[in-house]
Amino acid sequence: MSQLIIGSDLKNLVMKTRPWVEGRKVFIISDQKIQTRKLVQSLERFAASVAEMNINVSEQVKSFSYVERLTGWLAARGANRDSIIIAVGGGVVGDLVGFVAGIYMRGVDWINVPTTLLGQVDSCLGGKTGINLTEGKNLVGLIYPPSAIVCDVQFIESLSLRDQASGFGEIIKYALLFDSQFAEEIEVILKKRFVDKQDISSSEWIRVVTRCLKWKSKIVSKDLHEKKGVRELLNFGHTFAHALEKEQKFNIRHGEAVLIGMKMALELSRIRKHMKKKQVVKAQKLIDLVPVPELNGLRPKNVLKTMSLDKKVKNQRKRFVLLKKISKPLIDEAVTDQQILQAITLRDHRASRRKRERTV
């Protein structure tokens, strides 16, 4: 499993990567929005050499053409099996660069430096790497964990409010799935950030990142390849979310889709009589503290159709991660299409009613 290094002082954190970097050729592939000067200077003190390439990030760079471009760059610059690749960026860079590291010369070591909230609390850990096809997201990939993950929470400060909100999708997921005490802590942080519009301190971010990664590593260490039904729990809200992302032509962030998807999964938990209404309302109120954009003319039947094409649908049965209560998940395989449509419509209906109330 990857070594986790979490803190708020990049120079210091980078020193801790020395065991993997010392004397090796380093190839940094970074999001062009990130200032990497400090990182490069620190690495130059113990690496054999440091080369860098920037990427203009969008979901489209998770593609074979970028894989070709990056592997070509590595080869041209003399990267070999003893080199180490460092990804610096959000989930897009992590997924793409991790995949490149996994296939270049049949696999070279890599380090992930996630710079988005979503990247730090979720996507950096668990080894899933990959790219998209025109037929769908993340259809080509590898499980190829990095040697080390360096989370500097100071990166979160420069993120747009929207990208911070997106990260909270995964944070709330961990709280609702496993940790009711964490859900209470998150409520305080969400009110501070999105209601009172205050900044979150580094120590608060460190607590949040550490807590999420603790839960994720607990799950992933039991079921890295998602074969034992344990890792599947992390798909809470995601069956809806993946379909929503596609239906909305990827005009919403992954974490935003997860927030909406979790609200639908909560409706479904109530419809399937697993969860009491009071608990559903409590969980939904937590999600509602995070601002998400209105969906663009959502068509529930389209969402349902897209769901049926999801790579996680087993033998035509849709498996849903639902909740009995906060921190008590279950898998339900007996959900009907009618109930799915009802969950989508109910969430959609309530969201538009709230919007009407706000504008009155």
Ligand X SMILES: NC(=O)c1ccc[n+]([C@@H]2O[C@H](COP(=O)([O-])OP(=O)(O)OC[C@H]3O[C@@H](n4cnc5c(N)ncnc54)[C@H](O)[C@@H]3O)[C@@H](O)[C@H]2O)c1
| Contacting residues toward ligand X, per CB under 6 A | 31, 33-34, 57, 59, 62, 89-93, 95, 115-116, 118-119, 122-123, 126, 128, 137-138, 155, 158-159, 163, 166, 253-254
The answer to whether residue 225 is catalytic is no
What angle is formed at CA 347 by the lines to CA 196 and CA 116, rounded to 5 degrees?
A: 50
User: Rounded to the nearest whole angstrom, what is the least distance from the CB of residue 203 to ligand X in the complex?
Assistant: 18
| In contact, 111 and 150? CB cutoff 8 Å | yes
Catalytic residue among 24, 173, 242, 246: 242
Residue 106: active-site member: yes
Cα–Cα dist 61/69, whole Å: 10
Nearer Cβ to ligand X (17/116):
116
- Using alpha carbons only, give the angle 37, 145, 141 rounded to the nearest 5 degrees: 100
C-alpha distances (whole Å) from 15 to each of 9, 35, 113, 258, 336 are: 10, 18, 13, 35, 53
Min separation Cβ 358 and ligand X, Å = 26
User: Which of 62, 193, 231, 253 is the catalytic position?
Assistant: 231
Among this protein's residues, is 157 annotated catalytic?
Answer: no
Q: Which of 24, 62, 173, 235 is catalytic?
A: 235
- Determine whether 315 is an active site residue: no
Q: Which residue lies nearer to ligand X by CB, 120 or 279? A: 120
CA dist., res. 65 & res. 53, Å (int):
15
Of 132 and 269, the one with the shorter C-beta distance to ligand X is 132
Q: What are φ and ψ of residue 85, in 5° steps?
A: -105, 140
- 8 A C-beta contact, residue 95 and residue 59: no
170 is an active site residue = yes
Whichever of 2 and 116 has its CB closer to ligand X, that residue is 116
Q: Give me the catalytic one of 24, 173, 193, 238.
A: 238
Please give the residue whose beta carbon sits closest to ligand X in the complex. 91
Q: Is the dihedral of CA 122, 10, 221, 82 positive or negative?
A: positive
Helix (H, G, I), strand (E, B) or coil at 280: helix
**What's the CA gap between 285 and 278, in Å, rounded?**
11
Taking the complex as a whole, the smallest distance from the CB of residue 32 to ligand X amounts, in Å, to 8
State the minimum distance, in angstroms, from the CB of residue 266 to ligand X: 20
Q: Closest separation between CB of residue 158 and ligand X, Å?
A: 4
Which of these is catalytic: 173, 211, 216, 270?
Answer: 216
CA distance 37 to 215: 32
Q: Which is nearer to ligand X, 219 or 303 (CB)?
A: 219
DSSP tag of 334:
-
Catalytic residue check, 235: yes
Taking the C-alpha atoms of residue 163 and residue 265, their distance in angstroms, rounded to an integer, is 22
- Provide the annotated active-site residues: 106, 128, 170, 216, 226, 231, 235, 238, 242, 254
